[in-house]
Amino acid sequence: MTPDIRRILTINAGSSSIKFALFEGGETIRRVLNGKIEGIGFQEGRFAVKSLNQGENASRPLVARDHTVAIVVVMDWVQERMETSGLAAVGHRVVHGGPNYWEPQRITPEVIGALKELSPFDPEHMPQEIGLIEAFRRRFPDLPQVACFDTAFHHELPRVARLLPIPRRYEAKGVRRYGFHGLSYSYLMEELARLSAGKTEGRTILAHLGNGASLAAVRDGRSIDTSMAFTPAAGLPMSTRAGDLDPGLVWYLARTENMMPREFNEMVNRESGLLGMSETSADLRELLDREAEDSRAAEAIALFCYQVKKWIGAFAAALGGLDTIVFSGGIGENAPLIRSRICEGLGFLGISLDAERNEGNAPVISKEQSAVTVRVIPTDEEVMIAKSVRAVIDRPPNK
């Protein structure tokens, strides 16, 4: 490998998956492969890789009981195909940075210790992500690793948007609105600037709609509000997460069902949302297929669209108007019917979809005369991780 070509491996862990990608380049970077392990913790899973070198393409069943087992498969695959000396660094998406971390951080024992202290902020994601970092550290002790925080995009939220209306003493302990999907939103804003000749001025709502779903209100390139809050469980109903709920429900279920905090957490994170409402599936595609004959599926879809519509209205008010909406994420990019239902009735905000463009997943799906431009932009968290890693490893010491 020539000295100016460096390889960066990115790791993006979900609740039941690990996505990884390999980038190489000097001044500019390019993706050379994508990989994914799906179905972690389930009886049926899959390992798949798609590479520019077709000889490296692979897809096979894989049963991994947890992320620790799954990451060994990734590390074995990397080690079998390249010298680790050819890797410049590994970049990890870390969901929560708490009050002290927002810029990408070179991972040290001190940073790992701080991340472990943050685990109670998001016990659904942080322990897994820390486990992956430690697995790489054990296997490749000399390989630099970088943590890229999903809260960073919202770091400068206005104070009124950060505050939670609970006793002030908890704010001193870091309890406030943080917001998430920051790597996705950073990428979308870069793409929006590219598509708009470098302009980031204006009033924009970003809608990252996938298994996890959130919206962000952005004014002149800066996040001023977002639907997720202290943890990624807040805001919209999602595939298996409930989103915002009446906090009185905790006490009610404790009294009537003897439900303990751990059980409540399990319910609102893994048994609710589209899955809980439909009682059949967390996959919106499956629900759309059966909504005509299954009222539960129809109601789950209707609730999801209704809640997104409500947040768009609220954020339009917070922004003082609206210039652009961007749909992204698995649902936002690929579900024309959902986008149509969300935007239906929002003509008073200046939103007017073009049915043909929307059905074809065109880059711009609004009508020419629409006062609000509605875009579909595929997101790419991995490239943002790679860019952040490169910036960190290129940074002079003590900077």
What DSSP line would sit under 11-41, residue for residue? EEE-SSEEEEEEEEESSSEEEEEEEEEE-TT
What is the arithmetic mean of pLDDT over 252-276? 97
What is the arithmetic mean of pLDDT over 246-269? 97
- pLDDT, position 2: 44
Give percent of the chain above pLDDT 90: 87
Chain-centre distance for alpha carbon 218: 17
| pLDDT tens-digit map of 318-329 | 999 999 999 999
CA diameter of the chain: 66
User: Which residues is 326 bridged to in the sheet?
Assistant: 206, 375
Q: Is 85's pLDDT higher than 80?
A: no
What is the arithmetic mean of pLDDT over 304-317? 98
Q: Is 198's pLDDT higher than 80?
A: no
- pLDDT, position 124: 87
Q: Is 299's pLDDT higher than 70?
A: yes
Q: Is 26's pLDDT higher than 80?
A: no
User: Which residues is 20 bridged to in the sheet?
Assistant: 11, 35
- pLDDT, position 1: 41
15 band by pLDDT with thresholds 50, 70 and 90: confident
- pLDDT, position 398: 61
Contact 238, 213 (CB under 8 A): yes
> Which residues have a catalytic role annotated?
150
Spell out a b/e string for 142-160, using b for 16 or more CB atoms within 10 Å of the CB, else e. eebbbbbbbbbbbbebeee
In what side-by-side order are the strands of the sheet with 58-61? 58-61, 46-51, 29-38, 17-25, 6-13, 87-94, 145-149, 105-106
- pLDDT, position 83: 67
Q: What is the DSSP letter of 208?
A: E
Non-local CB neighbours of 124 within 8 Å, separated by 6+ positions: 15, 231, 232, 233, 265, 269
Measuring CA to CA, which residue among 204, 190, 207, 221 is closest to residue 387? Answer: 190
The model's pTM: 0.94
54 band by pLDDT with thresholds 50, 70 and 90: confident
Mean pLDDT of the chain: 94
Measuring CA to CA, which residue among 99, 93, 90, 141 is closest to residue 117? Answer: 99
Non-local CB neighbours of 105 within 8 Å, separated by 6+ positions: 111, 146, 147, 149, 392
- pLDDT, position 79: 87
| pLDDT tens-digit map of 109-128 | 999 999 999 999 999 899 99
d(CA 272, CA 259) in angstroms, rounded, equals: 15
Contact 205, 322 (CB under 8 A): yes
5 band by pLDDT with thresholds 50, 70 and 90: low
What is the arithmetic mean of pLDDT over 303-319? 98
Give percent of the chain above pLDDT 70: 97
d(CA 227, CA 214) in angstroms, rounded, equals: 6
d(CA 358, CA 344) in angstroms, rounded, equals: 13
399 band by pLDDT with thresholds 50, 70 and 90: low
Contact 145, 90 (CB under 8 A): yes
What is the arithmetic mean of pLDDT over 289-311? 98
Q: Is 4's pLDDT higher than 80?
A: no
- pLDDT, position 64: 92
What is the arithmetic mean of pLDDT over 322-345? 98
Non-local CB neighbours of 260 within 8 Å, separated by 6+ positions: 254
| Position with higher pLDDT, 199 vs 299 | 299
